[in-house]
Amino acid sequence: MTFRRFSRIAISACCIFSVMAFGQPGTLSAKAQDVDLAIDSLPGPAESVEGNYLAAVVAGSARDTRAAALYFREALRDDPRNPELLERAFVALLANGDMEEAFSAARQLLQRDANNGLARLALGVEAMKARRYVTARKYLGSGGRGRAADLTATLLSAWSWVGSGNLRRALDTVERLKGENSYNVFRDYHAGLIAAVGGNRREAENRLKAAYDVERTTLRVVDAYGRLLSVRGEAEEARRVYAAFDRLLPRNPIVQDALTRLDAGERLSSLIANTQEGAAEVLYGLGAAGNSQGDEIAALIYLRLATFLAPKHELAIVTLGDMLERLKQYASAIEVFEAMPANSPLRSSIDIQIAVSLELMGEKDRAQKHLEELIAANPDDVEGLIALGNLLRSRKDFAEAAEIYTRAVEAIGTPDQSRWTLFYFRGIAYERSKEWPKAEADFKKALELAPESVGSDRALVLNYLGYSWVDRHMNVDEAFEMLKRAVELRPRDGYIVDSLGWAYYRLGRYDDAVRELERAIELRPSDPTINDHLGDAYWRTGRKLEAKFQWNHARDLDPEPEDLVKILEKIEKGLPDEDKPAAAEAVEKPKNGG
């Protein structure tokens, strides 16, 4: 059984460093080295305006904001009066977080086009940071068109009125937002935050409760409402709000921290403390929405403005860093992640994410050392242990990965349903270490823990265990049913379809095997194992020329060394004659190709 076959199925899930969800406190890594590495790796500026402009356009198309900002800055230096160049440079600088240069470019842009909406937004935010609220409203009151611009300007203007000490005007401004449900929730959420900062607790509770009643699965709404209840001395009600969310999405570090502090008799602080944090919350919400919708540049700009106003905004840091990492700007992601406060409940998750970025940058030794230092500081850090196990497994250090996963299992004690992935990952490590009895036990445990609610993810365990049984000629009937169910859950997953085809092959039902394996090839044409399997099925159905073609193709697709030896032998000699397995008669032929 090849590792590649399963690494593609499972390792995407194993890089589970979803910093929005899980984590414990940890330590920091060296930011400056990473940033210098990224800057040094960029080619130097071109010798002409045209060269720098083209380099900047290419970088911008690749969403490489650091490179785009560098080359646009150089081009603008040589041609400062070019309006198109100025606007492009402004956007690149803003997306890259070069705020002072971006604000300077915005002022130049407004001298040429007083209605440039993005320039007005940027300068409005700059004014709010400086507590020049009247100036902020002048910038926000005109320029920009469309619903998004209207939403942004309206909410930021409302927060500016809070800064000016006029709560009534702030709430009246928020009331301009009318329309669909999402607007109403956003309106009530910010009206509640505004009322809380402005000192009207009754209005704050009414508005935040209205938002909570509609959006009980949105962390930010839950946290704002729970904190307000705690501030008002309603600790039990606050605990109920957090506990309800925890039942839906267990182990969220923000929720866990709130529950721990409430249990200790502490009173939580308000989510938003001042005007700047409130305005940052608006920009964070818009950035997070843009991120989820794939509007990357707009999302980056909103999130950069949010962290400019509130440098310690935890979820803005998480979302911005995650975006940069996804865009392969790993050094920039680390720089953003480092801004997470040391006492934040998200700090441990961020430290794990820093290790991920280091690994993706090719800094493998530093990534592993970083995780090992986190674990040394907190030996029972389950998430840190799982992260290290995942890192080792991705490197094919399976035996060592299994040992680390075992430490995580021991630290957990009695696992709940949400820990099914840990047993699944350890099962993979054991199987690849040729410790099948231990692997089989872990896969069974993962299936026992994994609720049906995990949906298609359950197919991963069904597939691995089912395929392993089939490949070992074990429990073939049960494995066959598992694989059929896995295909039902993930019908477009070529690896899982291949597993079902291989089960048919092992049962001696070669025509059915060909049908499923040909479908698997359509889904995953470049996988050597699937091509090898299809070659075997062709051979057994008498299509020997096509079989050799598939084996040759598998040979050229870089199979695992142990598989390559077998493929080369089949190319030379074909398959030996074999009797049809008796097990073939034990399984009723499914109808309609099922």
pLDDT band at 62 (very low <50, low <70, confident <90, very high): low
H/E stretch holding 59: helix 49-61
479 CB-side CA count, 13 A: 27
Q: What is the pLDDT of residue 26?
A: 27
State how far the alpha carbon of 142 is from the alpha carbons of 91, 127, 147, 276, 286, in Å.
Answer: 19, 15, 14, 21, 19
Q: What is the pLDDT of residue 44?
A: 58
Q: What is the pLDDT of residue 47?
A: 52
Residue range 558-566: mean pLDDT, rounded: 93
State how far the alpha carbon of 508 is from the alpha carbons of 49, 328, 485, 532, 592, in Å.
Answer: 68, 46, 20, 17, 19
Q: What is the pLDDT of residue 354?
A: 96
Residue type, 280: A
Contacting residues for 170 by C-beta, under 8 A, at least 6 apart: 158, 159, 161, 162, 194, 198
Domain 451-582 = CATH 2.70.240.10: no
Identify whether the C-beta of residue 300 lies closer than 8 Å to the C-beta of residue 173. Answer: no
520 CB-side CA count, 13 A: 27
Q: What is the pLDDT of residue 592?
A: 34
Residue range 39-65: mean pLDDT, rounded: 59
Residue 279 and residue 98: Cα distance in Å, rounded? 19
| 325-357 confidence digits (pLDDT tens) | 998 999 999 999 999 999 999 999 999 999 999
DSSP-derived 3-state class of residue 240: helix
Residue 102 and residue 84: Cα distance in Å, rounded? 15
pLDDT at 36 over 60: no
pLDDT at 224 over 50: yes
Domain ranges of the chain: 183-192+201-267, 451-582
pLDDT at 187 over 60: yes
Count CB-CB contacts under 10 A for residue 33. Answer: 12
pLDDT band at 35 (very low <50, low <70, confident <90, very high): very low
pLDDT at 37 over 70: no
Residue range 508-515: mean pLDDT, rounded: 96
Q: What is the pLDDT of residue 149?
A: 65
Residue 200 and residue 205: Cα distance in Å, rounded? 9
Residue 413 and residue 409: Cα distance in Å, rounded? 7
Q: What is the pLDDT of residue 418?
A: 85
What single string gives the DSSP state of each residue in 77-134? HH-TT-HHHHHHHHHHHHHHT-HHHHHHHHHHHHHH-TT-HHHHHHHHHHHHHTT-HH
State how far the alpha carbon of 34 is from the alpha carbons of 356, 359, 415, 478, in Å.
Answer: 13, 12, 37, 51
pLDDT band at 28 (very low <50, low <70, confident <90, very high): very low
Q: What is the pLDDT of residue 20?
A: 27
Residue range 268-297: mean pLDDT, rounded: 91
Q: What is the pLDDT of residue 67?
A: 66
Q: What is the pLDDT of residue 89?
A: 84
**Secondary structure of 169-191 in the HEC alphabet?**
HHHHHHCCCCCCHHHHHHHHHHH
% of the chain beyond a pLDDT of 70: 82
pLDDT band at 471 (very low <50, low <70, confident <90, very high): confident
| 67-117 confidence digits (pLDDT tens) | 666 666 766 676 667 778 888 889 889 999 999 999 999 999 999 999 899
Residue range 275-301: mean pLDDT, rounded: 90
pLDDT at 30 over 60: no
Residue range 179-193: mean pLDDT, rounded: 84
| 402-443 confidence digits (pLDDT tens) | 999 999 999 999 998 889 999 999 999 999 999 999 999 999
pLDDT at 560 over 60: yes
pLDDT band at 517 (very low <50, low <70, confident <90, very high): very high
Q: What is the pLDDT of residue 201?
A: 92
Residue range 454-466: mean pLDDT, rounded: 90
Contacting residues for 103 by C-beta, under 8 A, at least 6 apart: 122, 123, 126
How many residues in total does the chain contain?
Answer: 594
What single string gives the DSSP state of each residue in 124-165? HHHHHHTT-HHHHHHHHTSS--SHHHHHHHHHHHHHHHHHTT
Could you tell me which residue, 87 or 156, shows the higher pLDDT? 156
Angle value at C-alpha 113, between 111 and 114, nearest 5 degrees: 80
H/E stretch holding 478: helix 476-489
% of the chain beyond a pLDDT of 90: 70
**Structure-block tokens of residue 481:** 């049913």
Q: What is the pTM of this model?
A: 0.78
Residue 35 and residue 330: Cα distance in Å, rounded? 9
pLDDT band at 365 (very low <50, low <70, confident <90, very high): very high
Average pLDDT over the chain, rounded to an integer? 85
pLDDT at 285 over 60: yes
